Amino acid sequence: MPLQSEAMRDDGINMGFVAVIFCVVAGLLVANHALAPQETQVDVAALPQIERADLILSPRQGPVDPQRVELGYEAHATLKHTYDIAGTVVTARPHLAGGMSEIAPLDLGIAWGPMAQREVLAASRYTAGHRYLKWRVPVEMVPMEEQSINISNTHLIPADNVVRDAMMEMKPGQSVRLTGFLVDVYQDGMLPWRSSVTRDDGFPAGCEIMLVTQAEITRG
């Protein structure tokens, strides 16, 4: 921003500098508001219990009754499947304002199987947009038909602040594990937000919406 005039600096107080300080302070206040702790507090004890295997090589889905779960923010979820996923994070996209950000503050791109091999990750490119994931993986390393079934873009709903804090620490290159439920989300004044339940439905319906009850970084 250009100076308004030389006279503004002559009285010993640079008004331009004061304006900059004001903008910085205002920005910090807005950022602190945007980063306010997630208020969703799901009664995890009332949810079905999930038996976790010691090791999983690809996401595990299981049957569950379509239980309604209150999320706050005039929103609720309906359970569709139990869900347990482990893999390597390729993208981490936080959502701090607007839309479903209060409920689902983070999207993770997670790869497993052939898509998580070290040499494949090094040769590939991943881009996280607003609730979508794009990737470019050499087909000579992973055939096209195997790429989309070994990677996911998952919209994460933390069950509570402990899970939220663990999720928000997850970064590309780390190995992670998430356990919870695939859900459909309903909020007043919005169309239902429906989770994918298959690996081959593609864009734009191919993202998983996950209510996370356990989150951990297993390597990284």
Check whether residue 29 and residue 101 sit in a common domain: no
**Token couple for 59:** 């996401």
Check whether residue 3 and residue 52 sit in a common domain: no
Q: What is the pTM of this model?
A: 0.80
pLDDT at site 135: 96
pLDDT at site 144: 94
Q: Would you say residue 56 lies in a domain? A: yes
pLDDT at site 202: 62
pLDDT at site 203: 55
Check whether residue 87 and residue 189 sit in a common domain: yes
pLDDT along the chain (220 residues), means of 10: 28 31 34 46 92 89 96 94 97 87 95 97 94 94 95 96 96 98 93 89 75 95
Check whether residue 23 and residue 84 sit in a common domain: no
pLDDT at site 18: 30
Other CB atoms within a 10 A radius of the CB of residue 52 amount to: 14
Q: Would you say residue 39 lies in a domain? A: no
Give CA separation, 10 vs 2, 15, 74, 83, 117, in Å.
16, 10, 55, 66, 63
Check whether residue 69 and residue 170 sit in a common domain: yes
Give CA separation, 170 vs 60, 91, 110, 180, in Å.
21, 9, 11, 17
Number of domains in the chain: 2
Cα gap 111→199, rounded to integer Å: 12
By residue range, what is the domain housing residue 160? 44-219
